[in-house]
Structure 1
Amino acid sequence: MSERLRPRDLAFLASESSSAPMHNATLEVFDPGDSGFDYARLTELIADRIAFVPRYRQRIQQVPGRIANPVWVDDARFDLSFHVRRSGLPRPGTIEQLRELVGRIMSRPLDLSRPLWEVYFIEGLSEGRVAILSKSHQVLVDGVETVDLGQVLLDTTPQAKDLDADDWMPRRPPTATGLAVDAVVESVRDPHTLAATTRSRAESLLRGASATRDRVGQVVNALANRRPHPESPLSAHLSEQRRFVTVRTDLEDYRRVRAVHGGSVNDVVLATVTGALRAWLMARGTPSSGMRQLKAMVPMSVIDDDLEATSLGTQITGHLVALPIGEASPVVRLHQVSYAFQAHSETGRAVAANRLAGIAGFAPTTFHALGTRVAADEVRRGFHVAVTNVPGPQFPLYAAGARMLETYPVQPLLPGQALAIGITSYDGGVYYGLTADRDALPDVQLLGQCVTEALEELVDSSSESRPRAPRGRRKPVKK
């Protein structure tokens, strides 16, 4: 019997629209060196590792009459070359051109009739580098058994691990009659199945009615020559197009700030985001006095058996944080953010960053996907932006011998939210990926610059806070 989609997964499919596709992605930049890493080698690597993520060769099959939730079935026409694609930039490709390409790829929804993922091998970057953009639907990475494909492609050494050859053959697809019979039998044996199906269909109808109400409201406003008034500059009716901005910073700067002012690296990251949003809003002409706080949903890893289990050994919960954008002092902002997370740390459920970073494979790709699932579940709590910060390994990783230099999470936009922020630390760097609606936030590039400036502001405040030698005396020179 095929595995059935859970109500939560079906909810993601029901809430998806052309303006809010529910897929995550990761952009990684590599230095091929002498490895010979190219499109053909990437295809071979994925063919070698895809057995570890069997869901990536399955598609969704509806049950006749929708008398039960859809099921996962092997894709009899699975074609790896359809999912692993080759792209390029005009040489020498710049980071701006790469961002533009990522924005366009993220704007396109996945084909629901096939396995819900794509990987792009992007050539033509300056200095001989290449990039990989891996894109997968939220229902594909459920965290219970399935991890993101990106987690299994990377190795800790330039020598790729030798794995047993995969002789996968698709199972015969179920017939429409077989699906219907299985659904009836399962409903009789397990009443929870019938209840879950009924609940899923009811939720789908409610979402459809809600979406209809939203569209009617937009039409009424347009006819009356009125524009909707979002509750913040980050709230908007989404278009079908995206922008993407990357920011690279040094992990040592965050550690330096933490050493002087206390808290955690995560606190410094969130304080940096707060300072960046404050500066960006002020540059837009939004007075800080009119909006003292922005609500952010920050998914956190915890140990809590009452929450949904994941294959990573921890659970993910949403933490609602008020980012103090109205506060002028960067140090006070940092202390306020630290205080907001103190209660979470004192619960005893919090998971240390070094434990997360030590999980086998490149787990940030999976954690970011799970974080988005949590944020989507919590969207009714009325936050303005989702911020997912995941610690990664502090040593280099490789794909078929090519060293990964940079990694940027590409988070999806939730309905009504024009910005999503993903952050990953890796090998001495902290990498920001800012996903924005193309029409609502045409100046998101400025926000990227504000991230760098906000971190510099915190670093400068840390230097000023350090004890200094009294005037007229000099520190001894070490010989």
Structure 2
Amino acid sequence: MVERLRARDLAFLTAETVVAPRHNATVEVFEPGPAGFDHARLLEIVSDRISFVPRYRQRLVEVPGRLATPVWVDDEHFDLGYHVRRSALPRPGSDDQLRELVARIVSRRLDRSRPLWEIYVVEGLAEGRFALLTKSHQALVDGVHTVDLGQLLLDAVAEPRPLEPDDWTPRSVPSALRLVAGAVRDSVTAPATFVDTVSVTTGSVLRTAERASSRAKVVADALTGRRPRRRAMEGPLSQQRRVVTVATELADHRRIRDAHGGTVNDVVLATIAGGLRAWLMTRGEPLGGARHMRALVPVSVVDEELEATSLGQIAPHYVNLPIGEASPLVRLHQVSYSFQAHADTGRGVAANRIAGIAGFAPTTFHAIGARVAATEVRRGYQLCVTNVPGPQTPLYLAGARMIATYPVPPLLEDHPLAIGVTSYDGRVFYGMNADRDQLPDADLLGTCLREALDELLSTTTATRAPRGRRRPSSRRPSEGGTS
């Protein structure tokens, strides 16, 4: 019995273009363990854990005539060595060199004729460190049937777990006749299959027409000499990316929270707002007519009407980042006010509950948050920020301690910047994916973000909570955006 790809998952494939690959990525940096680490060891670990995510050994097969959505089948020629790759920097490799390598790798689309994921071990970093880069397609990781492989690779203890032999044998790929018969049967016995097929076909036609209309408008504007006025953070994507990473201390975020109320999530978003403001000013962007930047921040909620995943329900939450506000404290209060309304609904999920999920769940949370962003793209937001609280104790990969983790969320068309944030082991890691041509000065945004956090820290000399606001208790939900 084969499993058919759901229409919402197929939408991520049909919407993918050469300039907008639809995969999530994560970069993790490790200190070397006592036994060392290399590509062969990574192959062993992935081979041991992949049985927990069978979808990672499956590929998609089209139904002849597209009578129904594609089906997942076991890859009869599954080659673990193709998916688990090795790369290296010239020793001693710098963080800048690592980011450049990551940017080049995440710019490339995944091969759809194979299982939709890749993982790289990057050797040669200074001080004997190495990095792990994972890529998983949005159609693969839905949080319902499949979690991100990165959630399963890390351990809470330094001692490596014993490896178990895997006797997996792929099931045979169904013939074309059997695929057609199954599509006809499902269309008759399961009306949802017919609806999915029609909706995907219609959606594909509409997207093609929309892209053609957009291109025609660009040509018409060029011929008439008109320059379309774009908001900040808008514009067509190129095929290349820039990756920016910033590591900060969780204690600094908590110090700001304790001084002014709210949550760590509020501090993160206020920091991003301040960083964007300073960065846009260096670019000469006029802020007078754009006092706010509309941002989508996926949040974890309790809502029976939303699709249940292994990590709960994730819903979109919109925030107007106050980039036109000069005062860092006012920016913080404005962000806090937006999330206070969300907290008052009683739907929020506590951050410590999310951080306590088994494995390194932030990788899966970021993947689900990116799916939410993709489905909400027509709502007209300018920036997506996924913020996920992770465990505050160290995690290990075959004895090697993870010291940093940076999400690299995918870019959507006309959205040249996406930001992911993960807190882990006493630190807060910001990962930014930027279009290389649209935002050639993206590195400067990282500097501005650090300065924005320092600016907020400078306000903590007055520790009295603002009028009408209570200091956060341990029961108050949400110390992370996706929480």
Question: Normalising by structure 1, what TM-score?
Answer: 0.95
Letter in structure 2 aligned against 1:378: E
Partner residue, 2:194: 194
Q: 1:385 aligns with which of 383, 404, 407?
A: 383
Range with greater deviation from structure 2 (236-245 or 209-218): 209-218
Partner residue, 1:277: 276
Partner residue, 2:298: 299
Q: How does 1:152-191 map to 2 (within 5 A)?
A: 152-162=152-162, 164-191=164-191
**Residues 161-207 of structure 1 deviation map (CA, whole Å, 9 limit, x = unaligned):** 23542211110001000000011111111122111211111111111
Letter in structure 2 aligned against 1:92: P
Secondary structure of the structure 2 residue equivalent to 1:135:
strand
Cα distance in structure 1, aligned partners of 2:315 and 2:464: 36
Contact 2:259 2:462 in 1 (8 A): no
Letter in structure 1 aligned against 2:338: A
Partner residue, 1:143: 143
Secondary structure of the structure 2 residue equivalent to 1:168:
coil
Letter in structure 2 aligned against 1:337: V
**Residues 417-447 of structure 1 deviation map (CA, whole Å, 9 limit, x = unaligned):** 0100000000011000010000000001010
Partner residue, 1:130: 130
Partner residue, 2:97: 97
Gap regions ≥5 residues in structure 1:
468-479
**Residues 324-353 of structure 1 deviation map (CA, whole Å, 9 limit, x = unaligned):** 111111111101000001111111110111
Letter in structure 1 aligned against 2:166: D
RMSD over aligned Cα atoms: 1.2
Letter in structure 2 aligned against 1:23: H
Q: 2:396 aligns with which of 395, 398, 410?
A: 398
Secondary structure of the structure 2 residue equivalent to 1:356:
helix
Partner residue, 2:239: 240
Partner residue, 2:113: 113
Partner residue, 1:75: 75
Cα distance in structure 1, aligned partners of 2:83 and 2:367: 19
Q: How does 1:459-478 map to 2 (within 5 A)?
A: 459-465=457-463
Partner residue, 2:318: 320
Cα distance in structure 1, aligned partners of 2:226 and 2:158: 59
Q: How does 1:216-365 map to 2 (within 5 A)?
A: 216-230=216-230, 232-312=231-311, 314-365=312-363
Partner residue, 1:204: 204
Secondary structure of the structure 1 residue equivalent to 2:299:
strand
Contact 2:69 2:197 in 1 (8 A): yes
Partner residue, 1:31: 31
Letter in structure 2 aligned against 1:407: T
Cα distance in structure 2, aligned partners of 1:453 and 1:339: 23
**Residues 202-238 of structure 1 deviation map (CA, whole Å, 9 limit, x = unaligned):** 11111111111122222333444554432x2210111
Partner residue, 2:476: none
Secondary structure of the structure 1 residue equivalent to 2:88:
strand
Cα distance in structure 1, aligned partners of 2:132 and 2:225: 44
Secondary structure of the structure 2 residue equivalent to 1:25:
strand
Letter in structure 2 aligned against 1:402: A
Q: How does 1:409-448 map to 2 (within 5 A)?
A: 409-448=407-446
Secondary structure of the structure 1 residue equivalent to 2:297:
strand
Range with greater deviation from structure 2 (221-230 or 274-283): 221-230
Secondary structure of the structure 2 residue equivalent to 1:51:
helix
Secondary structure of the structure 1 residue equivalent to 2:139:
helix
Contact 2:160 2:397 in 1 (8 A): yes
Instruction: Using the TM superposition, give the Cα deviation of residue 383 of structure 1 relative to its aligned residue in structure 2, in angstroms.
Output: 0.6
Letter in structure 2 aligned against 1:177: L
Partner residue, 1:477: none
Cα distance in structure 2, aligned partners of 1:194 and 1:371: 28
Cα distance in structure 2, aligned partners of 1:227 and 1:169: 58
Partner residue, 2:478: none
Contact 2:30 2:402 in 1 (8 A): yes
Range with greater deviation from structure 2 (185-194 or 79-88): 185-194
Cα distance in structure 2, aligned partners of 1:253 and 1:35: 34
- Among all aligned residue pairs of Structure 1 and Structure 2, give the percentage whose two residues are the same amino acid: 63
Gap regions ≥5 residues in structure 2:
466-483
Cα distance in structure 2, aligned partners of 1:24 and 1:228: 31
Cα distance in structure 1, aligned partners of 2:122 and 2:208: 37
**Residues 2-42 of structure 1 deviation map (CA, whole Å, 9 limit, x = unaligned):** 11011101111111000111000000000113122111101
Secondary structure of the structure 1 residue equivalent to 2:460:
helix
Contact 2:58 2:115 in 1 (8 A): yes
Cα distance in structure 2, aligned partners of 1:376 and 1:370: 10
Secondary structure of the structure 1 residue equivalent to 2:358:
coil
Letter in structure 2 aligned against 1:302: V
Instruction: Using the TM superposition, give the Cα deviation of residue 96 of structure 1 relative to its aligned residue in structure 2, in angstroms.
Output: 0.6
Given the superposition, is the C-alpha separation of residues 90 and 223 from structure 1 closer, same or farther in structure 2, using an over 3 Å criterion?
Answer: farther
Partner residue, 2:473: none
Letter in structure 1 aligned against 2:447: Q
Cα distance in structure 1, aligned partners of 2:306 and 2:125: 43
Cα distance in structure 2, aligned partners of 1:183 and 1:397: 45
Instruction: Using the TM superposition, give the Cα deviation of residue 463 of structure 1 relative to its aligned residue in structure 2, in angstroms.
Output: 2.4
Secondary structure of the structure 2 residue equivalent to 1:407:
strand
Contact 2:292 2:321 in 1 (8 A): yes
Partner residue, 1:65: 65
